[in-house]
Structure 1
Amino acid sequence: MTTVRMFVNGQAMSGGDISHALEGARFLGPAKTAPRYRFYSVRDEFPGLHPVEENGRSVPGELYEVEYAQLRERLLPAEPEELELSVIEMADGSGSLAMCMRARALTLPEVSDISEQGGWRAYLAEKGSV
């Protein structure tokens, strides 16, 4: 079985609305991205990473080892259209797959930059949504 590393930072994290899509995947632990991303909330429903050249932040999340079949058949179909599969840089310099904001989605209504909030769970806690 071929596996890949998948970084999640929103609803696919443990306890999130689509965490079931990672059921059975091997949890590798909490992780952070390299400080090369801005982090956005889309309608306060889900977050998205977007790479930037400057003023990037490190975003916390979870890292999993996922089989390709699980990624293809369970996780990707559960992801919203504003996100796309990409390769990101982790804080330790390694790479991982992750869902990132499509560039065209950055200008949609109800998309806000939450990079300073310290991650999706911290953002939701601040809003009183958790």
Structure 2
Amino acid sequence: MTTVRMFVNGQALSGGSLNDALAGARLIGEVKTAPRYRFYTVRDEFPGLYPVASGGVSVPGEVYEVSYEVLREKLLPREPSELELTVIELDDGSGSLSMKMREESLGLPGVSDISDRGGWIAYGKAIA
């Protein structure tokens, strides 16, 4: 069975409401992105990465080893339309699949930059 690495940083994190979509995937561990991204909340419902040329931060998350079947049948169908699949750079220089904000979604109502908030879990605790 062919597998790929998938970086998650929001509801698909361990304990999150979307983590069940990763049933059958293997958690590799906690990681951070390279400092090349801004991090956004969309209506405080889910986050999104967006690559930038300067002013980026490292975003914490988890990497899973997932089959194409899990990705295609379980995870991607549950991702919000404001996000799209891409390849990102991790802090060790390696790559991983991940969801990112669609450029046209950045200006939507309810989208705010939370890059300085320490990741999705820290942000959630701060607004709770």
Whether TM exceeds 0.5 here: the answer is yes
8 A contact 2:9–2:119 mirrored in 1: yes
Q: In 2, distance between residues paired with 1:77 and 1:15?
A: 19
Q: In 1, distance between residues paired with 2:111 and 2:16?
A: 20
Q: In 1, distance between residues paired with 2:79 and 2:123?
A: 20
Q: Which amino acid aligns with 2:39?
A: F
Percent identity for Structure 1 against Structure 2: 68
Q: Which amino acid aligns with 1:72?
A: R
Once superposed, what is the RMSD of the aligned Cα atoms?
0.4
SS in 2 for 1:47: strand
Q: Which amino acid aligns with 2:125?
A: A
Residue aligning to 2:60:
60
Residue aligning to 2:38:
38
Residue aligning to 1:78:
78
Residue aligning to 1:3:
3
Residue aligning to 1:107:
107
Residue aligning to 1:91:
91
Q: In 2, distance between residues paired with 1:2 and 1:39?
A: 30
Q: In 1, distance between residues paired with 2:84 and 2:98?
A: 8
8 A contact 2:39–2:114 mirrored in 1: yes
Name stretches of at least 5 consecutive residues in structure 1 with no aligned partner.
none
Query: What is the TM-score with the length of structure 1 in the denominator?
Result: 0.98
Q: Show CA shifts across 1:16-41 (max 9, x none).
A: 11110001201000010000000000
Q: Show CA shifts across 1:58-116 (max 9, x none).
A: 00000000000110000000100000000000000000000000000000000000000
Query: What is the TM-score with the length of structure 2 in the denominator?
Result: 0.99
After the TM superposition, which segments of 4 or more aligned residues of structure 1 sit over 6 Å from their partners? none
**Structure 1 residue 52: deviation in Å?**
0.2
SS in 2 for 1:49: strand
SS in 1 for 2:106: helix
Aligned length: 128
